[in-house]
Amino acid sequence: MSGALAVTPHRAAAIVVAVGVTCALHIGKLPPAVPALQAGLGVSLVQAGFLLSLVQLAGMCLGLFVGLSADRFGPRRVMLAGLLGLALGSAWGGFAATPGALLASRAVEGLGFLLAVLPAPALIRRHVADARLLARSLGWWGAYMPLGTALALLVGAPIIEAMGWRVVWLGLAVVSSGAAIGLCIGLPADEPLPGRVTAWGPRLRRTLSAPGPWLVALGFLLYSGQWLAVVGFLPTILSQGGMGGLQAGLLSAMAAAVNMAGNIGAGRWIAHGARPLMVLRLAYLTMAVGAVLAFALEGPFFIQYLGVLAFSGVGGLIPGTLFGLAVRLAPGEDTVSTTVGWMQQLSALGQFAGPPLVAWVATQAGGWQWSWVITGAASLLGLWVAQRIDRALP
């Protein structure tokens, strides 16, 4: 199918964001399943950390290459391939009998996830010309991860408790297949960009020789690793504290969902003239303070949970801002996906390293009380990166 002959900018952006949400479901399906996987497959806490992060392995190794491919072959085509990869990997995982097989299936899901989400900002930009609408649309795109994660946490916990984790894996294989059909029908086939550079070498050199792509990529690394570690392990932390699975899933879903407000708010804030430096400073500082409240202080539970909500909610300003900056700081329109690919590659590195590192610290310390050291260090570095981004803006 070639898709619709014409599509409005609002509808195009909505379709792309909806597809992203279905992809994020595959990230969010794992946290509520960790206790079941530990009981059923004998998965250790560190293995669970790698299951959380392994979906980012493809992005960590291939983000730049996929970005180059999306600029060359077209974002819609690459996204469709990714959705089919997600469906295949999730179906394989649904039949896994060992931790090794489940880890391998997550690697396949990771490649599909990368292919499906990386070209999205370029696809939105192709259909949305107005600058203010583009900023708001990219803010909404930044919310795809927390929205999908929150939905998976909210719905996954009761399904896993009632029918088991395999039902979730197989069900999401069907969801990704349906998303591929919806994208194919909803958006027209890719058209060549005017003056597109077909050779990969020149675009790669232009992207990596410019400071902007490096800075937005590093900023995303420092955000994504700590966010996935905290929100990804939150159901486990709450369960270890004696909370029931459904209640832990609900509170974890709320912690992921508030991240949407930051993403969407960043797009609107910047569309109305806010300086990215101010937005990023507020977000990184709040993440540092929120982590200290959540893990370092022996206070009432509601104070610790408010720390988690602040960490996730205000922290959501970072991806909503960086997606918009990636489009602005790309060396040219033919390098937008390449720039986002580099950002995705370093973001994936953060998400790959963050959860196992925090899990290792928790294992060594016999609890989660020192987790704030890892997240706090990332936030302090993020403040430095934000200052450098401000200097790089035209």
Please, what are the averages of pLDDT over each run of 10 residues along the chain (394 residues)?
Answer: 61 92 91 82 75 73 77 85 96 88 88 89 83 80 82 85 91 96 88 56 83 93 89 79 75 84 83 87 95 83 89 92 86 79 85 83 82 90 94 83
Q: What is the rounded distance in angstroms from the CA atom of residue 331 to the CA atom of residue 342? A: 13
**pLDDT value for 4:** 44
Q: What is the rounded distance in angstroms from the CA atom of residue 318 to the CA atom of residue 266? A: 8
Residues 6+ apart with CB under 8 A from 28: 148, 149, 150, 151, 152, 153, 156, 256
CB 283 within 8 A of CB 315: yes
Eight-state DSSP code of residue 8: -
Closest CA to 291 of 366, 386, 225, 240: 225
**pLDDT value for 5:** 47
pTM for this structure?
A: 0.73
**pLDDT value for 119:** 87
CB 60 within 8 A of CB 345: yes
Q: What is the rounded distance in angstroms from the CA atom of residue 128 to the CA atom of residue 10? A: 8
Q: What is the rounded distance in angstroms from the CA atom of residue 20 to the CA atom of residue 138? A: 12
Torsion of CA 38, 31, 21, 302, to 10 degrees: 160
Q: Which two tokens stand for residue 303?
A: 């104070």
Please measure the distance between the N-terminal and C-terminal CA atoms of the chain and give it in whole angstroms.
41
Q: Which two tokens stand for residue 374?
A: 């890892």
Torsion of CA 329, 331, 336, 337, to 10 degrees: -110
**pLDDT value for 262:** 86
Q: What is the rounded distance in angstroms from the CA atom of residue 76 to the CA atom of residue 128? A: 15
Question: Domains in the chain, ordered, with CATH?
Answer: 9-392 (1.20.1250.20)
**pLDDT value for 27:** 86
Q: Which two tokens stand for residue 308?
A: 């988690």
Q: Which two tokens stand for residue 348?
A: 């994936």
CB 78 within 8 A of CB 133: no
Q: What is the rounded distance in angstroms from the CA atom of residue 324 to the CA atom of residue 17? A: 15
Write out pLDDT tens, residues 33-85: 888 888 878 777 777 777 776 777 777 777 777 777 777 778 889 999 999 99
**pLDDT value for 23:** 95
The region that residue 96 occupies, defined by phi over 0 for left and psi between -120 and 50 for alpha, beta otherwise, is: beta
**pLDDT value for 384:** 96
Q: What is the rounded distance in angstroms from the CA atom of residue 268 to the CA atom of residue 274? A: 9
CA distances, 147 to each of 144, 250, 285, 306 (Å): 5, 14, 23, 19
**pLDDT value for 242:** 72
**pLDDT value for 2:** 41
